[in-house]
Amino acid sequence: MIYFFSGTGNSRWIAEELARLTGEQALSIPDLVKDGPTAVYAGAGSSIGIVFPVYAWGAPLLVEQFCKAISVSEGAYVYAVCTCGDEAGFAMRRLKRFYPLQAAWSFTMPNNYIVGFDVDAASLEQKKIDAARERLGRVSAGILARKTEFDVHTGPAAWLKTAVIRPMFNTFARRTKPFYATSDCNGCGICERGCPTETIVMRQGRPAWVNRNCAQCMACINRCPKKAIQYGTGTLHRGRYYFGNNKTNNG
């Protein structure tokens, strides 16, 4: 079984492709936990994979909570796969502290963190996706062979980033107050339906960000077909990214 979290589709694509190549099933973590904690059990001989995007050199909090609740029997094969724009830091090393990982891989995918940076150039997006498509074969073969392997692009100063900056991100950078919809909003509700943490509700035809669970996954701002969602003023002149929204990404 493969469990995934994804804001803008990169990790969903990787999870679904790995599921197809390994004959497994891919399930969305937010869908599983939306009505409360779900008991997940990995029995002896089973294979269990977690796929997630890297947020501030760590796994999203929701993913960490999900992993902490999994009970893993001896003899189960346990692995994780992350997607990141550039580098994963010690996201996997941290996960291993409370989730008995035997293997981990990273995929470099297009950047979606438009609150911090602009999207990648279209040519770079395509290059990353082409390289990821090729890497899927190697990683799925590793999973099928139940390899014990850590092939993760950690990047420089990984300890500092994961141990020091990541907690600061989780404490201070997940505010929803700067989100707003401009007059271009037509009330379609895609943002509400696509929010994995049910942070958005439509009020009088406009999105409102109503709780503290926001993961900053960037689904709402990147998916809005009218480009009507902004975060302060920083995103006004930045591009938007969603896996498959660039025609060359498809297929």
Ligand X SMILES: Cc1cc2nc3c(=O)[nH]c(=O)nc-3n(C[C@H](O)[C@H](O)[C@H](O)COP(=O)(O)O)c2cc1C
- Interface residues with ligand X (CB under 6 A)? 6-12, 53-57, 83-87, 109-113, 216-218, 243
Query: What gap in Å lies between CA 45 and CA 111, rounded to an integer?
Result: 36
Strands, E, within the chain: which ranges? 2-4, 26-28, 40-42, 47-53, 70-72, 77-84, 103-108, 150-151, 179-181, 200-203, 206-209, 229-231
CB of 29 to ligand X, least distance (A): 12
Query: What gap in Å lies between CA 53 and CA 109, rounded to an integer?
Result: 9
CB of 243 to ligand X, least distance (A): 6
Query: What gap in Å lies between CA 175 and CA 172, rounded to an integer?
Result: 7
Give CA 29 to chain center in angstroms: 11
Task: Report which secondary-structure segment, H or E, holds 29.
Answer: helix 29-33
Q: Which is nearer to ligand X, 6 or 72 (CB)?
A: 6
CB of 166 to ligand X, least distance (A): 8
Q: Which is nearer to ligand X, 144 or 165 (CB)?
A: 165
CB of 147 to ligand X, least distance (A): 23
CB of 44 to ligand X, least distance (A): 31
Write the single-letter amino acid at 204.
Answer: Q
Q: Which is nearer to ligand X, 54 or 72 (CB)?
A: 54
Alpha-carbon radius of gyration of the chain? 18
Strands, E, within 86-194: which ranges? 103-108, 150-151, 179-181
CB of 57 to ligand X, least distance (A): 4
CB of 83 to ligand X, least distance (A): 3
Q: Which is nearer to ligand X, 76 or 218 (CB)?
A: 218
Q: Which is nearer to ligand X, 11 or 199 (CB)?
A: 11
Query: What gap in Å lies between CA 6 and CA 4, rounded to an integer?
Result: 7
Taking a C-beta distance cutoff of 8 angstroms, is the pair 17, 136 a contact? yes
